[in-house]
Amino acid sequence: MSLSPHPRNGLPEDTVRGWGDKWLRPLDGSQITPARIVVGVIAGLLVLGALIAANVVTTDYGFIPVGFGFEATAGTLFAGVMLASRDAVQDALGRWAVVVMILLGTIVSFLVSDPQIAIAAALAFGFAELADFAVYTPIRNRSIIGDKRWALAVVASNVVGALADSVIFLGIAFGLGAITPALPGQMVGKLWATLAYLLLGWVVAKTILNPLRKAGRLGQPREEPVKAT
């Protein structure tokens, strides 16, 4: 059976709907419910606040100790919170909400921090987000928050995202010479935030999300079409 083309762009309607679902729906394809909106807004505010705070404290304090003899930019811990929280935003509301938070955070950062720091953070987080879409999204599919597959998705995406974010941010904000000596500290600082997010996600899943899911208040994932054999 052939697909009818979309009247405005000539693409099959299923293709157009597929793109829309990927960007406008939560990651599991379910409808956005009031409970998801609450979770998404809270996580979105964490992304926005962490992005702004990371830029402000890095502008004001430069580098700080993060343990094991390493130093990192003062905003590294906030950046780790930001990388973890954006996964929650994508889970609850979809990719579009993450993009909105990045844009809003960048605009505000220009007003309250060094412009070079703001530019570096925006570009770094943008590239980190592309890496997240490539790593987190496929692993996260067919899992629920708090289970082992979800934890693997968070760890894998945050390692890749933190590496991309750190290299790009350090190179733009402090010069290429800062990448090698500062990179280990950046990764350690963001690791602390990732571990905290894993613990928080497990607790929230057990105490809040699982009961809501059983009550049907988080929406039902869209069923994938069965392919003919």
The pLDDT tens digits for 16-42 are: 345 445 555 666 566 777 878 888 888
Q: Identify whether the C-beta of residue 124 lies closer than 8 Å to the C-beta of residue 169.
A: yes
> What CA–CA distance (Å, rounded) separates 48 from 55?
11
SS3 145: coil
Q: Domains (ranges, CATH) in the chain?
A: 20-211 (1.10.1760)
Check residues 213 and 46 and name the one with the higher pLDDT.
46
228, pLDDT greater than 50: no
167, pLDDT greater than 90: yes
Residue range 151-169: mean pLDDT, rounded: 89
> What CA–CA distance (Å, rounded) separates 136 from 131?
8
65, pLDDT greater than 80: yes
Cα-to-chain-centroid distance, residue 182 = 23
* Nearest CA-CA partner of 218 in 24, 19, 26, 17: 26
* pLDDT in the model for residue 218: 58
Q: Identify whether the C-beta of residue 140 lies closer than 8 Å to the C-beta of residue 27.
A: yes
pLDDT tens digit sequence for 86-141: 888 888 888 788 788 878 877 887 887 888 888 888 888 888 878 877 888 788 77
Average pLDDT of every residue of the chain: 78
